[in-house]
Amino acid sequence: MKGRSAIPELPEVETVRLELAPWLTGAVIIGAALLDARPGPKYAGLERAVGRRITAVNRRGKFLLLPLDSGDELIIHLGMTGVLSPQPTSHLRVKLELDATPSALYFRDTRRFGRFLVVPAGDYTSLPTLAALGPEPLGPDFYPAQFAKALRVKTAIKTHLLSQRPVAGVGNIYADEALWRARIHPLMPSAHLSAQSVACLCQAIKEVLRESLEAHGTTLSDYRTVNGEAGGFGSFLQVYGRAGEPCLRCGRTIERLVVAGRGTHHCPHCQQLPAQ
């Protein structure tokens, strides 16, 4: 899977959050500079962070949320190639100077899909995806009955998962993995899933995210932890990125199709699409 890129999902972003929290919580931002970033909505309001204290490092879905003591919130989205590090490197977009050790946080983003901006706390009008997120999959609000209500749409289940509305933080990698575990075809209309299938998918999502989080996420190409390490879950992927290889459950060949513009991997034997 070398060279393939993917947007960091819940396990990757949560790994980054866990590393940032002891360092940044309580730190004062004494300087904020755009380096090689184009001014615009992706980097708006950084000047409002200067002189403010970071009171926590939170996460919602794939977003990092850092509340400031001014009532503002610093929002970071890694995009496809974003990396946060205390060390300067290439393709730097933002530098925060801190009254902490290490004394600087750098945001590297080769392909410029990430975000690093300050907004009034809770005001996500410029971030509609964040505003519309479903429940956190590892929290108490994600359970089969609630999930079933969120799936009452005719959209393909893979497409609906990628929208972030039925559950937050599940992207291309873990949607494929969870659907394989639950034996659900990615093109199955969400509303056609049985109660048993919904419960199996709910459990599969929780399991694969927890397992990946324990391995510090999945690195395909760009993702790194704050400490510069690659995630270790790639060697445990059951279906994602394995097109042409045998299914680890039944031995049939894994196939790849495109769903919602994303490469999607499934086993045609284990994940059959019922005749309409």
Query: Is 183 a residue of the active site?
Result: no
Catalytic residue (choose from 59, 158, 242, 262): 262
Q: How far is CA 94 from the centre of its chain?
A: 20
- Beta strands across the sheet bearing 72-77: 58-60, 63-67, 72-77, 115-120
Six-digit token string for 140: 């108490």
Query: Is 8 a residue of the active site?
Result: yes
Residue 191, strand partner residues: none
The amino acid present at 73, given as its one-letter code, is: E
- What letters, b where the CB count within 10 A reaches 16 and e where it falls short, cover 94-128? bebebebeeebbbbbbbeeebbbbbbeeeebeebe
Catalytic residue (choose from 8, 135, 137, 166): 8
Rounded to whole angstroms, the Cα distance separating 20 from 245 reads 38
Q: Is the peptide bond before 120 cis (omega within 30 degrees of 0)?
A: no
Is 225:20 a contact under the CB 8 Å cutoff? Answer: no
Query: Is 62 a residue of the active site?
Result: yes
Catalytic residue (choose from 9, 12, 14, 177): 9
Catalytic residue (choose from 62, 115, 158, 224): 62
Question: How deeply is 207 buried, as exposed, middle or buried, from its count of CB atoms within 10 A (0-12, 13-18, 19+)?
Answer: middle
CA nearest 178: which of 268, 79, 245, 265?
A: 265
Q: State the catalytic residues.
A: 8-9, 62, 262
